[in-house]
């Protein structure tokens, strides 16, 4: 059984369909789904928590995407701190740095990321990190603000092996999406080949990044199997082993 470690099935893209989406995932061999908050606006967090309470095999995280760091102030942080106390909330995030789009100023992204790192430390929860074109600064913040006792995962990892090694040295896991099934993703597949399976998660990032053979359609947690199958092919091992080890990794980090 697989775990989709990062999905946004609480979003409007699945309005009225959540139960069916979760049922299809279970039928496809997905035992649990992490509904990740922080994509779009604050409501994604409360919706993730609400969804998690409706299904035994769904868990939630709370945070704000770096795109929206400019909208995070003291009031938002207080709400998220309160939500983080919910027993179905298993991590802080997603949060981090995105210098590819730079929808929020870089200095604001760094400040807010630092605040979420502190929240993760205070709540003793792991952190779910979004990072794009900002690996060096993300590593520096995780190392400096994290104080050496921070646990977490870099979701949708798309960096090079040097960046992968830097995160692994911090004790973080790396999570891979349907991108590794794309024709032009050979450099990323080479990273997958080198990273120890014991440090890998699989995810869909639904509704985005739909893997081949469904690319172009809305993604959903049932399709995480295609990510696992791609990793199995890359590493030349059975997909059952991929499922067993990556699920154990998720359970170890998130303590579920």
Using the 8-state DSSP alphabet, how is residue 57 labeled? T
pLDDT at position 147, please?
85
Assigned token pair, 50: 């609400």
Which residues share a beta bridge with 3?
A: 32
Residue 107 makes CB contacts below 8 A (sequence gap 6+) with none
Contact 76, 38 (CB under 8 A): no
Predicted pLDDT of residue 148: 84
The two beta strands, 58-62 and 200-202, are unpaired
Tell me the C-alpha distance between 124 and 138, whole Å.
20
pLDDT per residue, tens digit, the chain (256 aa), is 999 999 999 999 999 999 999 999 999 999 999 999 998 889 999 999 999 999 999 999 999 999 999 999 999 999 999 999 999 999 999 999 999 998 999 999 999 999 999 999 999 999 999 999 999 999 999 999 998 889 999 999 999 999 999 999 999 999 999 999 999 999 999 999 999 999 999 999 999 999 999 999 999 999 999 999 999 999 999 999 999 999 999 999 999 9
How many Å apart are CA 74 and CA 84, to the nearest integer?
A: 15
Which tokens sit at 240? Answer: 């059952």
Q: Let me know how long the chain is.
A: 256
Q: Where does 55-185 have alpha helices with state H?
A: 74-83, 106-123, 135-146, 161-169
Q: What is the DSSP letter of 38?
A: -
Q: Where are the domains of the chain?
A: 2-254
Q: Note the pLDDT of residue 10.
A: 97
Looking at the whole model, is its pTM more than 0.75? yes
Q: What is the DSSP letter of 211?
A: P
Closest CA to 61 of 113, 138, 149, 129: 129
* DSSP alpha helix (H) spans, the chain: 18-27, 43-54, 74-83, 106-123, 135-146, 161-169, 186-194, 224-235, 239-254
Predicted local distance difference test score (pLDDT) of residue 87: 98
Sheet harboring 127-132: ordered strands across? 2-7, 30-36, 58-62, 89-98, 127-132, 152-154, 173-176, 200-202
Domain 2-254 bears CATH identifier 3.20.20.140 = yes
Axis crossing angle, helix 224-235 with helix 186-194, rounded to the nearest 10: 70
């Amino acid at each position: 059984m697989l775990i989709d470690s990062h999905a946004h099935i609480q979003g409007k893209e699945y309005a009225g369909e959540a139960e069916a989406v979760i049922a299809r995932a279970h039928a496809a061999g997905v035992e649990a789904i992490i509904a990740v908050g922080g994509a779009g606006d604050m409501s994604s967090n409360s919706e993730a928590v609400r969804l998690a309470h409706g299904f035994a095999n769904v868990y939630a995280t709370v945070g704000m995407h770096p795109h929206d760091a400019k909208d995070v102030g003291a009031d938002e942080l207080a709400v998220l701190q309160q939500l983080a106390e919910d027993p179905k909330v298993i991590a802080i995030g997603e949060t981090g740095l995105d210098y590819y789009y730079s929808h929020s100023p870089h200095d604001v992204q760094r400040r807010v990321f630092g605040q979420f790192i502190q929240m993760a430390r205070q709540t003793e929860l792991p952190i779910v990190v979004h990072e794009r074109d900002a690996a060096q600064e993300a590593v520096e913040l995780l190392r400096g603000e994290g104080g050496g006792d921070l646990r977490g995962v870099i979701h949708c990892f798309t960096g090079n092996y040097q960046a992968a090694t830097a995160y692994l040295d911090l004790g973080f896991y790396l999570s891979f999406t349907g991108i590794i099934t794309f024709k032009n993703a050979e450099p990323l597949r080479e990273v997958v080949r080198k990273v120890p399976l014991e440090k890998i998660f699989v995810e869909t990032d639904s509704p985005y990044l739909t893997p081949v053979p469904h690319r172009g359609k809305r993604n959903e947690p049932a399709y995480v199997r295609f990510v696992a199958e791609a990793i199995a092919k890359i590493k030349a091992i059975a997909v059952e082993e991929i499922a067993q080890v990556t699920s154990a990794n998720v359970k170890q980090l998130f303590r579920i």
